[in-house]
Structures are given as C-alpha cells and as structure tokens.
Amino acid sequence: MTLDQYLDIINMKTGALFAVSCELGAILNGAPPPVVKSMYEYGTNLGIAYQIYDDCLDIFGQERLAGKSLGTDMKKGKLTLPFLLLLQHVGADSRQELGAMILRNDEQEQQRLLRLVLGNGVVGESLAAIDNYIGRARANLSALPANIYGSRLGLLTEYLSGQSRLLLREAVAA
C-alpha cells in the first residue's frame, strides 16, 4: 500500500464520517453554502488527523490511558502511517522483510517493529502529518462567523494537537 492509498482509505473512512457530521450540522442550522462547504472540509481534515492519531495511539499508546485495547492494527498486520513511513525509510532489500514481519504477527517481531518505528524519525513525521491536517481544519474555520460555536470547533483542533504531542512525546521517551 502506498501513502496516497492509505490517505484515501482514511479519508473515505474517518474523514467522510467527520465531514458528513459537520456538514449536516451546518445544513440543519441554516448555514449559507460557503459555510456548509467549509464545515465539510473541516470535518474531512479533522477526521483524517484524528485517524492518524488513532493509528499512532494503537502503536505507541498505553491501554490504561487510552481506555481501549491497543496493538490491534499491528496484530492484524494492518499498514498504518507509522508503518508506511518506516517502510519508506528502509532500503529496498529490507522493505520486503519488514513487510513480512508486519504481516506475520509475531509478538517478538512486534517489539522489534516498535523499536524500528521509534528509531527512524517516524514519530516526528507522524506528528507532522497530524499537524498538517489540523492546520487545514483550522483554516477551514475562517469561513465561520466569530462566535462560540466556531471557537469550540477550534478547541477540538487544539485538543487533538495536544493529545498527539503528548502521545508521541511519551513514545520517544519510552
């Protein structure tokens, strides 16, 4: 899977869910078409950022803090952004072996994969990807009138940004 394919999948999954939720909220409240469009785009960008965060949480998070089972993507051999970035960082000869490790679902190999992800700049690149989509979502809010509702939507982006930084800072420290 390529990075573009991954982004298309999460756009059609979480991005679309967030987009339609935001769009419908705007429509049901009688917002003008430009605001409806901005809300749709805000939802898309926030949804993509959230899905990347959730994929990182599955790898780097702690179950007691997350409140859910983690490591399920890795156990299923699911390629998420951190693994795709890792595959880009290794040479062609290692790429096949690494891909096979991801798919084998061996617990000892999962620990090795985690160390590889932590040691190849993937954490910073994952955070940059989240920040990119959060920045886009924030930009979409500029079409909204200055009121408490737009402010609250902005706080959602701040919260996700803070949670992402906390998660990935803890991952590097571990």
Dump pLDDT digits (tens) for 108-131: 777 777 778 777 788 889 999 999
Can you tell me the distance from the alpha carbon of 120 to that of 97, in angstroms, rounded to the nearest whole number? 16
Q: What is the pTM of this model?
A: 0.86
Average per-residue pLDDT for the chain: 85
Percent of the chain exceeding pLDDT 90 equals 50
User: First and final CA of the chain: distance in angstroms?
Assistant: 29
Mean pLDDT, rounded, for 67-73: 50
Residue 69 Rama label (left phi>0; alpha psi -120 to 50; beta): beta
pLDDT in tens, 50-69: 999 998 888 776 554 544 44
User: Per CATH, which fold does 3-173 belong to?
Assistant: Farnesyl Diphosphate Synthase (1.10.600)
Q: Cα 35 from chain centroid?
A: 25
Give the percent of the chain with pLDDT over 70: 86
Asked if 63 contacts 38 with a C-beta cutoff of 8 angstroms, the reply is no
Least confident of 5-9, 99-103, 115-119, 130-134: 99-103
CA 3 to mean position of chain CA atoms? 13
